[in-house]
Chain A
Amino acid sequence: MAWFRKEKKPRQPRREKLEIPADVWEKCEACGHTDIREKFVRNLNVCPSCDHHRRIRAGEYAAILLDDGTIEELEESLRSTDPLGFPEYPARLKKAAKNAGDADALLAVGGMMDGAPVNLGVMDFAFMGGSMGSVVGEKIARLGQRSLERKYPLIIVSASGGARMQEGVLSLMQMAKVSAMLAQLAERRIPYVSILTNPTTGGVSASYAMLGDAIIAEPGAVIGFAGPRVIKQTLGQDLPEGFQTSEFLLDHGMLDTVVHRKELKKTVSQLLRHMSGKPAAAGWTST
């Protein structure tokens, strides 16, 4: 009765097994989706499954917005100092520079966007939570000055918990400083586009983030004056679902639009061309 007995053969895989080392996998913080890193990177670090926009470094952001090979860092020699003699601040600065580089919490660059020159400031959350101190304020003021002189539009990408408390009231004054510069751009009709990423709160949201001729946010970013934790404390209760997200702010009339990272460059570029009286870039359809 051997005709029904299955012959025991070792199972052969149909394909060659893919040898993927463990460290190329990336897991989405929001939905847990796991994919090879390459896929995340190609998708501009947006989760291919749930569209969660991951936090990226300032340099990566500049590369997304500006044309290849046109990016030039500006004001790179500015460094934070310790004007108040604040406890542990010099050590924290040193550590932040080691981890996140010397650009402080804002990378200032010049470059081309679809062939048109722009000045761009990108906040870097990796540097002390993107906190705004004197260097951030001065870099934006100088970018603004450069925009005034050359009539280049200004773009700022925000990612910040707010003012840097280690520089005390000097940090607070950066809000006024940058706003005063933006008022000059406005009077000279130089477009300023503000892009809000996760998170944009505190002194940054209550100054330049909310002063754009166009204010654009990435999906799902937390944006607000007070951080969710503080509000929860004042209220003594949980916050409603989706409170202070980009979509919430859009619904409440605080943003012009919420745009996927993949569409960001095109959207900003279109807006700038509308505002500076330039024709649409070649290759765009009229849809």
Chain B
Amino acid sequence: MTTASLEFEKPLVELEKQIEELKRLAGDRQLDVASELAPLEKKLIELRDEIYRNLSPWQRVLVARSNKRPFTLDYLRLAFTDFVELHGDRLYREDPAIVGGWARLDGDSVMVIGHQRGRDTKEIVRRNFGMPHPEGYRKALRLMKLAEKFHVPVLTFIDTMGAWAGLGAEERGQSEAIAHNLFEMSRLKVPILATVIGEGGSGGALGLGVADRVMMLENSVYSVISVEGCAAILWKDGKSPEMREKAASALKITAADLYELRVIDEIVPEPPGGAHADYETVAASLKEALVRHLDELSRLKPDKLVRRRREKFLRMGQYLE
């Protein structure tokens, strides 16, 4: 798979081209190029590793947002079986920016709910960039309640720039929908695991994010405000790369930052070159982490589970006294 699409991945593209070219030549002329190919491929791996080890926070935002990355439905395909999608909030409409339904993880039934973005233009528009309306959050809550009814854990995947800011979303109570999810998720009597797989944008992310364990993929980000929004408010410049870089660093939005702030419990490693370089590997890592956490959480009685979840969130924040 050609993985490069981002500015800082340009050197990789060059190298990949060279390798392809060499292979093509070799094929055409039946030459043995293994001795030339090996160092190039080794260099590619090293370079990719190097680039990804040194991503700046803003570059990580770009990676997290890339539509080459695996989305919720990709993980459903790769790490789960027996998926049956459920639609609609039973109140107003179906919101394709959030998908959800029954699935099996290692043979056990779970409820999977996640933001869903689109890859091509038509799908991007249909999924509204993965930015849900209130109906998306209400559907999510409906499915969580359904899972609770049948004693099945809830797994959420967070991948949104934020909840949609528009007329209809406001008219139908975007705030109420998100608030209600926070409230109900803090008392749901089944295990909840949340994983940020791409961008975790503000309240629209948290609306699926109140969980017993919160994880982030290595190159995902999680923030209270978009980097551009922060730069625009503070420095009246949301567009220049310098200000974006400054805001992205200041906001502390990378997985490592959040782990240090004790907001998340685990960082799920991505393969060299990021999740988009190797879907199978990242899906396997994710699956391993999900199974492990579920195994631990399933030993807790519902009351204890809820109490611990509440305590976890009640501890959050830093202040002086």
A residues with a Cβ closer than 8 A to B are 77-81, 83-84, 86-87, 133-135, 137-138, 141, 163, 165, 167-177, 179-184, 186-187, 202-203, 205-211, 223-226, 230-231, 234-235, 239-240, 243-244, 252-254
- Name the A residues within 8 Å of B183 (CB-CB): 179, 182-183, 186, 211
- Name the A residues within 8 Å of B175 (CB-CB): 205-206, 209-210, 223-225, 254
Complex interface bits, B170-196 against A, C-beta within 8 A gives 1, otherwise 0: 111111101110111111000000000
Tell whether, in the assembled complex, residue A174 and residue B317 are in contact, meaning their CB atoms are under 8 Å apart: yes
Tell whether, in the assembled complex, residue B222 and residue A169 are in contact, meaning their CB atoms are under 8 Å apart: yes
**Nearest A-chain residue to B172, judged by Cβ:** A252
Minimum CB–CB distance from A192 to chain B (whole Å) comes to 11
Tell whether, in the assembled complex, residue B206 and residue A175 are in contact, meaning their CB atoms are under 8 Å apart: yes
Question: Is B152 close to A, CB under 8 A?
Answer: no
A sample of 14 cross-chain residue pairs with beta-carbon separation below 8 angstroms, ordered by A number, consists of A78-B321, A80-B319, A86-B250, A133-B317, A137-B316, A173-B263, A175-B203, A206-B175, A210-B179, A210-B180, A211-B179, A223-B175, A243-B167, A243-B170
Tell whether, in the assembled complex, residue A84 and residue B225 are in contact, meaning their CB atoms are under 8 Å apart: no
Q: How large is the interface on B (under 10, 10 to 19, 20 to 34, 35 or more residues)?
A: 35 or more
- Name the A residues within 8 Å of B225 (CB-CB): 163, 165
A207 contacts which of B182, B222, B318 (Cβ < 8 Å)?
B182
A interface, over-half SS: helix
Tell whether, in the assembled complex, residue A84 and residue B186 are in contact, meaning their CB atoms are under 8 Å apart: no
- Name the B residues within 8 Å of A253 (CB-CB): 173
Question: Is B202 close to A, CB under 8 A?
Answer: yes
Complex interface bits, B80-98 against A, C-beta within 8 A gives 1, otherwise 0: 0000000000000000000
Complex interface bits, B247-276 against A, C-beta within 8 A gives 1, otherwise 0: 000111100001001010000000000000
- Name the A residues within 8 Å of B250 (CB-CB): 84, 86-87
- Name the B residues within 8 Å of A176 (CB-CB): 182, 185-186, 206, 209-210, 313, 316
Tell whether, in the assembled complex, residue A81 and residue B318 are in contact, meaning their CB atoms are under 8 Å apart: yes
